[in-house]
């Protein structure tokens, strides 16, 4: 118990340090970028610019701005948005994170539900036509980028067939195409990973011995091979989850989804310092949390890892 | 986590409870461009928030579907003989969207809030003619000294220090009455659904940032019975190509823009649904007059202006109905006859010959060419325009042009500073239909005078226009100022903008207008068919049949 507490407190400290470094680096880079949040085609008169600078603390020395922002963050306040003054960054993130999580979570679920069975099927038919066909399609799914897949889906299912909306947010139908666009490369990767890992597992000594003892192929697969074969898939879950949950700016842009990716892109373009920093911090925290969760999952699947951590 | 659960719940319930909407419930689906930055009328400066605010609020004066000025909150107005004191008489029985009475003192208080320094209203400068407006905004005098007063509950009186297009100014969001008890209670969040109290044809029903915003008919609006569409959904459509696909898929009734592509293909695909009309905006190239080589070389500046073939640019580079420009004030402003460049009547060979002669006189030749930088912000249309102009300058004169594109914020910062720019993309979209709006920046040393043009004669003409007591005299002096600016070749006019939309056949009452403003209260949905169903039906029809359906083209 004491050892576990030590491990977890160490991890927490490590996470906080990582987030602080991330935020500081991001703060410096943002402020080093030319152009300011209130630079516009029709610039406001000097007195208005001065009033805005005062409201957003931009009239203070940079170090003072950094200190004030860090103090606010420590109290859980990510500050006001420069671009969207009607909202605080907390409110924008609270609205966007569940959207990205829902979209990305469904995409990852779809990837696992399709990718694992396809990978297993390919491994069981290794070297045959079905295997080659599945891996060719998976290779294609990985090679074609999302900014090509997404418009193609729109063209086919929205513009031509009129089955689904081409974009927007508010109904379940709005989720279908973006989820598919996000899921496709992940399905492909998951299938390839499962196939490779399962093939390696099936050739292990203990399984050959089991097979020699007369164990059926089905029992061999589900009782002995699949769980260890899915360990690499579990390891991949961490970056995949981070990728889809934190939002894909391309997919969100194409389908008009109000998720984290769009806020990051818009925030950077508008020099909305607090919004970008807020998104980076929340995404950073999400990555840390996901890594911890996936480590726990891998530990549950592989007792050797659990023992090593302990 | 609660929100995530709510999302999942919504996902399940929306699927389970989905029912066909009643015909009268169908909303108008409007593409609206980027996310509105704010719904605080006094702080709005973009088109995206302006579109929504024109549904949520009404000024003393408003615009009809054709863009003509018509009474809004005011039923009538009058102006003093010297054109400086404007008196507005309110309609009886005006109400806010929460049902409480709206009177003149509230309008005055709202104006004072708009110009208070803390509000930091970006469009306050447009009201600089209003007595004490700049001084109030700068915090030099208290808001109570602003030139607006309410002698009784139904009269608002404005005092201006110089001539100004007052009725047109009062259609801007900064002149909308903001409900101050809401501001006091909710602060910056007075603009949220449930908090926002307006006085327009609609009230705010829902707002999902970066997705959409829904407004519903306001029963307390003075002309509520004439508002045909019960609900309007403004969709955030950041990407013009994605917006076009959403229209093509039947998700939208109207788009905010049309992405750049050949007119013929757009016409073939969308027929009369494509609405292109003159727009009050000018695109020009600015010349930095504060540094060599352009500062002391008027002949060189004119040579550059002469060497551009505007007919080719508008026919082959922009290609969406834009008009070649020989001035900086676009046509379409009532009472104003725009000035033209002195050489606008020349044909192409004469124009190019004159350009070459002036180029040589400036000391340049093909052996000793001018090397100059043309700067623009990252954007495909701007890149194509810069490439075309550079090619024309090279072909006609032998000028060597370095093209430099910059990210938007970097570009506007550099242009404002006038330090490293030589030739740059410029232009102006009218805030109000007034020639002075296009000329004022050149008369000051402020951040909007990107060229650094500094001419006492120009300023004198502007001042005379300001002092004029009749609109005709004012317009004449403004025209003289524009002519002087063009004679000095401070800018190279290229073309006048057009507005471009896709409008579905069942949207009725949509008319083009110079400022491209289309309040939902003037629109009707001619069919209860939802856009998606309409598109499905359309896809079954032949292209020829598609192009003949719907309302007549404007």
Domain boundaries, chain B: 278-499
Q: Of A256, A263, A270, A282, which to mutate for an interface test with B (greatest number of B Cβ within 10 Å)?
A: A256
- Confidence (pLDDT) at B485: 97
Answer yes or no: is A4 within a domain.
no
Partners of A98 on chain B (C-beta within 8 Å) are: 3-4, 6-7
Residue A99: inside a domain: yes
- Decide: helix, strand or coil at residue B121: coil
Q: Residue A256 region, left (φ>0) first, then alpha (ψ -120 to 50), else beta?
A: left
Contact at CB, A40 and B4, closer than 8 angstroms: no
Separation between Cα atoms, residue A221 and residue A201, nearest integer Å: 10
Torsion of CA A126, A129, A131, A133, to 10 degrees: 160
Helix (H) or strand (E) segment spanning residue B31: strand B28-31
Two structure tokens written together for B403? 């093209």
- Length of chain A equals 310
Average pLDDT for A54-76: 93
CATH architecture, range B278-499: Roll (3.10)
Nearest by Cα to B519 from B59, B118, B80, B187: B59
CA distances from B111 to B39, B62, B249 (A): 16, 17, 43
CB atoms within 10 A of CB A45: 21
Please choose, from the candidates B231, B265, B264, B270, the residue with its C-alpha nearest in 3D space to the C-alpha of residue B250: B270
Q: Which chain A residues touch B124 with a CB distance below 8 Å?
A: 45, 48
Picking from A35, A80, A162, the nearest residue to B250 by CB comes out as A162
d(CA B478, CA B336): 9
Checking if the pLDDT of A90 tops 50, the result is: yes
CB atoms within 10 A of CB B484: 21
Q: How many CB atoms lie within 10 A of CB B438?
A: 26
B245, A80: Cβ pair inside 8 Å? no
Residues B506 and B525: their CA atoms lie apart, in Å, by 5
Strand partners, B376: B405
> How far is B244 from chain A, CA to nearest CA, in Å?
10
Distance from C-alpha of B8 to C-alpha of A103, rounded to nearest angstrom: 10
Supply A35's token pair.
Answer: 């152009």
C-alpha to C-alpha distance for B302 and B324, rounded to whole angstroms = 17
CB-CB contact of B346 with B435 (8 Å): no
Q: How many domains does chain A have?
A: 1
Q: Are strands B323-324 and B491-502 parallel, antiparallel or unpaired?
A: antiparallel
Closest CA to B410 of A82, A269, A87, A27: A269
Does residue A140 form part of some domain?
Answer: yes
CB contacts, 8 Å: A168 with chain B: 211-212, 235, 246, 251
Residue positions counted in chain B: 554
Q: Which residues of A touch B120 (CB under 8 A)?
A: 44, 48, 51-52, 55
Contact residues, chain B, for A261 at CB < 8 Å: none
Residue B280's nearest CA partner among B328, B337, B318, B335 is B328
Judging contacts by C-beta atoms under 8 Å, the chain A residues touching residue B537 are: none
pLDDT (tens, 9 = 90+) of chain B, 554 residues, equals: 445 455 444 544 444 434 444 445 689 999 999 999 999 999 998 999 999 999 999 999 999 999 999 999 999 999 999 999 999 999 999 999 999 999 999 999 999 999 999 999 988 889 999 999 999 999 999 999 999 999 999 999 999 999 999 999 999 999 999 999 999 999 999 999 999 999 999 999 999 999 999 999 999 999 999 999 999 999 999 889 999 999 999 999 999 999 988 888 999 999 999 999 999 999 999 999 999 999 999 999 999 999 999 999 999 999 888 999 999 999 989 899 999 999 999 999 999 999 999 999 999 999 999 999 999 999 888 999 999 999 999 999 999 999 999 999 999 999 998 888 999 999 999 999 999 999 999 998 888 999 999 999 999 999 999 999 899 999 999 999 999 999 999 999 999 999 999 999 999 999 999 999 999 999 999 864 545 444 444 443 333 333 322 222 22
In this structure, the number of other CB atoms found within 10 A of the CB of residue B181 comes to 13
B18, closest residue in chain A (CA to CA): A171
| β-strand partners of B78 | B87
Cα–Cα distance measured from residue B255 to residue B278, given in angstroms and rounded to the nearest whole number: 17
Using an 8 Å CB-CB cutoff, list chain B residues near A43. 412, 416, 447-448
CA dist., res. A87 & res. B207, Å (int)? 12
Would you state the structure tokens that stand for residue A27, as one six-digit string? 């703060």
> Which of B37, B249, B539 is opposite residue A84, by nearest beta carbon?
B37
Name the closest residue on chain A to residue B15, using Cα atoms. A172
Band the pLDDT of A287: cuts 50, 70, 90: confident
Q: Which two tokens stand for residue A270?
A: 């508008």
Residue B481 structure tokens: 């100022």
Nearest to B442 by CA among B394, B406, B491: B491
Contacts of B493 (CB under 8 A, 6+ apart): B282, B284, B305, B310, B325, B326, B327, B328, B341, B486
Per the domain annotation, does A29 fall within a domain?
Answer: no
Q: Would the CB atoms of A86 and B189 count as touching at under 8 Å? A: yes
Between the two ends of chain B, the Cα-to-Cα distance in Å is 51
- A35 with B408: Cβ contact below 8 A: yes
Mutate to test the interface with B, among A32, A36, A47, A262 (most CBs of B within 10 A): A47
B237–A97 CB contact, under 8 Å: no
- Residue A307: its pLDDT value, please? 62
Q: What is the mean pLDDT of residues A142-166?
A: 91
Could you tell me whether strands B202-208 and B212-217 are parallel, antiparallel, or unpaired per DSSP bridges?
Answer: antiparallel
Instruction: Report the chain A residue with the minimal C-alpha distance to residue B190.
Output: A86
Of A94, A159, A169, the CB nearest to B211: A169
Residue of B nearest to A81 (CA): B37
Contact: B416, A271; criterion CB under 8 Å? no
**Residue A285 included in any domain:** yes
Please check whether residue A59 is in contact with residue A50, taking contact to mean a CB–CB distance below 8 angstroms. Answer: yes
Contacts of B236 in chain A (CB under 8 A): 256, 258
Q: Which one of A30, A40, A42 makes the best mutation probe of the B interface by having the most chain B beta carbons within 10 Å?
A: A42
H or E segment and range at residue B523: none
The pLDDT value recorded for residue B375 is 96
Whether A201 is covered by a domain: the verdict is yes
Name the DSSP letter for residue B316: I
Nearest to B268 by CA among B554, B550, B544: B544
Domain with A298, as residue range(s), is: 89-309
CB contact under 8 A, A47 and B416: no
Q: Smallest CA–CA separation between A288 and chain B, in Å?
A: 17
Answer yes or no: is A5 within a domain. no
> In which order are the strands placed within the sheet that holds B85-90?
B74-79, B85-90, B155-159, B148-152
> Which residues in chain A are closer than 8 Å to B239, comparing Cβ atoms?
253-254, 256
Contact A253, B242 (CB under 8 A): yes
Are A84 and B35 inside 8 Å of each other by CB? yes
Q: Rounded to a whole number, what is the distance in Å from the CA of B488 to chain A's nearest CA?
A: 23
Q: Using the 8-state DSSP alphabet, how is residue B315 labeled?
A: I
Contact predicate B435/B479, CB 8 Å: yes
Contact A86 B40 (CB under 8 A): yes
Distance CA B194, CA B302 (A): 57
Q: What is the largest CA-CA distance in chain B?
A: 78
Q: Tell me if A166 and B248 make a contact (CB, 8 A cut-off).
A: yes
Query: Do the Cβ atoms of B4 and A98 come within 8 Å?
Result: yes
Which regions of B116-269 does DSSP assign to beta strands (E)? 148-152, 155-159, 202-208, 212-217, 231-235
Task: Output the CA angle A270-A273-A274, nearest 5 degrees.
Answer: 125
Residue B281: strand, helix, or coil = strand
pLDDT, tens digit, 9 for 90 and up, residues A102-127? 999 999 999 999 999 999 999 888 88
Three-state DSSP class for B139?
Answer: coil
Q: How far does chain A reach from its first CA to its final CA, in angstroms?
A: 10
- Proportion of chain A above pLDDT 90, given as a percent: 47
Cβ within 8 Å, pair B38-A85:
yes
- Please tell me the least confidently modeled range out of A209-223, A248-262, B453-467: A209-223
CATH code for the domain of A303: 1.10.3720.10
Whole-angstrom distance, CA of residue B362 vs CA of residue B358: 6
- Collapse the DSSP code of A23 into the 3-class scheme (helix H, G, I; strand E, B; otherwise coil) and give the result: helix
Cross-chain CB nearest to A256 (options B236, B408, B410): B236
Q: Would A149 be classed as within a structural domain? A: yes
Rounded CA-CA distance B346/B337 in Å is 20
Is B237 close to A256, i.e. CB distance below 8 A?
yes
Burial class (CB in 10 A: 0-12, 13-18, 19+), B454: middle
Q: Alpha helices, DSSP H only, in B89-130?
A: 104-115
Give chain A's mean pLDDT. 87
Chain B hits for A52, CB-CB cut-off 8 Å, are 120
Report the C-alpha gap between B349 and B355 in whole angstroms.
Answer: 10
């Amino acid at each position: 118990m004491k050892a576990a507490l030590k491990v977890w407190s160490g991890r927490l400290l490590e996470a906080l340090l990582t987030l602080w470094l991330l935020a500081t680096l991001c703060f410096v880079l943002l402020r080093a970028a030319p152009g300011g949040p209130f630079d516009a085609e029709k610039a406001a008169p000097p007195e208005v610019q001065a009033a805005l600078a005062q409201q957003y603390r931009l009239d203070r020395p940079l170090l003072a701005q950094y200190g004030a922002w860090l103090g606010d963050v420590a109290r859980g306040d990510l500050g006001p948005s420069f671009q969207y003054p009607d909202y605080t960054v907390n409110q924008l993130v609270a609205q966007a994170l569940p959207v990205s999580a829902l979209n990305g979570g469904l995409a990852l679920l779809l990837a696992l539900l399709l990718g694992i069975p396809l990978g297993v099927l390919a491994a069981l038919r290794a070297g045959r036509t079905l295997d080659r066909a599945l891996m060719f399609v998976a290779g294609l799914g990985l090679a074609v980028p999302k900014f090509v897949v997404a418009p193609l889906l729109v063209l086919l299912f929205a513009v031509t067939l009129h089955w689904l909306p081409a974009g927007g947010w508010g109904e379940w139908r709005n989720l279908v195409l973006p989820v598919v666009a996000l899921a496709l490369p992940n399905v492909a990767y998951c299938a390839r990973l499962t196939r490779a890992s399962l093939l390696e597992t099936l050739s292990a000594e203990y399984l050959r011995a089991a097979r020699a003892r007369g164990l059926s192929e089905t029992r061999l697969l589900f009782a002995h091979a699949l769980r260890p074969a899915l360990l690499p898939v579990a390891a991949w879950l961490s970056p995949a989850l981070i990728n889809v949950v934190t939002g894909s700016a391309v997919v969100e842009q194409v389908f008009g989804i109000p998720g984290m990716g769009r806020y990051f892109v818009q925030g950077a373009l508008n020099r909305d310092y607090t919004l970008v920093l807020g998104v980076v911090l929340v995404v950073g925290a999400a990555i840390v949390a996901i890594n911890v969760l996936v480590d726990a999952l891998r530990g549950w699947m592989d007792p050797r890892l659990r023992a090593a951590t302990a | 986590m609660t929100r995530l659960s709510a999302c999942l719940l919504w996902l399940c319930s929306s699927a389970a409870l989905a029912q066909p909407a009643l015909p009268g419930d169908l909303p108008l689906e409007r593409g609206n461009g980027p996310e509105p930055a704010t719904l605080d009328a006094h702080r709005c400066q973009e088109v995206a928030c302006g579109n929504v605010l024109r549904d949520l609020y009404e000024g003393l004066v408003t615009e009809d579907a054709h863009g003509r000025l018509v009474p809004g909150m005011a039923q009538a107005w009058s102006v003093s003989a010297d054109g400086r004191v404007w008196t507005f008489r309110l309609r009886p029985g005006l109400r806010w969207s929460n049902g409480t009475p709206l009177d003149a003192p509230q309008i005055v208080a709202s104006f004072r809030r708009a110009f208070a320094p803390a509000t930091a209203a970006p469009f306050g400068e447009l009201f600089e003619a209003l007595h004490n407006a700049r001084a109030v905004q700068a915090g030099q005098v208290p808001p109570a000294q602003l030139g607006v007063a309410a002698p009784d509950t139904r009269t608002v009186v404005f005092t201006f220090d110089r001539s100004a297009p007052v009725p047109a100014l009062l259609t801007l969001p900064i002149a909308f009455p903001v409900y101050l008890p809401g501001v006091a209670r909710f602060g910056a969040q007075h603009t949220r659904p449930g908090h926002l109290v307006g006085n327009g044809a609609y009230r705010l029903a829902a707002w999902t940032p970066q997705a959409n915003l829904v407004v519903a008919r306001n029963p307390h609006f003075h002309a509520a019975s004439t508002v045909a569409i019960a609900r309007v959904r403004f969709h955030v459509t950041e990407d013009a190509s994605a917006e076009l696909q959403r229209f093509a898929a039947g998700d939208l009734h109207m788009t905010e823009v049309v992405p750049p592509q050949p007119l013929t293909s757009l016409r073939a695909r969308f027929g009369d649904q494509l609405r292109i009309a003159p727009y009050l905006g000018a695109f020009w190239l600015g010349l930095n007059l504060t540094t060599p080589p352009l500062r002391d070389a008027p002949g060189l500046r004119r040579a550059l202006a002469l060497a551009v073939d505007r007919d080719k640019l508008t026919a082959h580079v922009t290609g969406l109905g834009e008009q070649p420009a020989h001035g900086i004030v676009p046509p379409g402003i009532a009472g104003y006859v725009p000035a033209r460049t002195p050489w606008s009547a020349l044909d192409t060979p004469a124009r190019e010959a004159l350009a070459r002669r002036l180029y040589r006189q400036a000391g340049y030749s093909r052996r000793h060419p001018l090397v100059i930088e043309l700067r623009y912000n990252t954007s495909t249309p701007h890149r194509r325009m810069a490439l075309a102009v550079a090619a024309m300058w090279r072909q006609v004169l032998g000028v060597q042009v370095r093209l430099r594109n910059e990210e938007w914020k970097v570009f506007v910062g550099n242009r404002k500073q006038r330090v490293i720019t030589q030739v740059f993309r410029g232009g102006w979209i009218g805030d109000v239909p007034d020639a002075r709006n296009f000329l004022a920046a050149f008369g000051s040393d402020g951040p909007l005078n990107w060229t650094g043009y500094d001419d006492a004669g120009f300023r004198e003409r502007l001042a005379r226009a300001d002092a004029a007591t009749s609109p005709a005299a004012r317009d004449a002096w403004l025209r003289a100022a524009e002519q002087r600016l063009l004679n000095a070749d401070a800018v190279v006019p290229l073309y006048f903008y057009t507005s471009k939309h896709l409008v579905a056949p069942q949207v009725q009452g949509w008319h083009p207008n110079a400022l491209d403003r289309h309040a939902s209260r003037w629109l009707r949905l001619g069919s209860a068919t939802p856009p998606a169903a309409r598109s499905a039906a359309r896809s079954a029809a032949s292209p020829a049949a598609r192009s003949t359906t719907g309302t007549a083209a404007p």
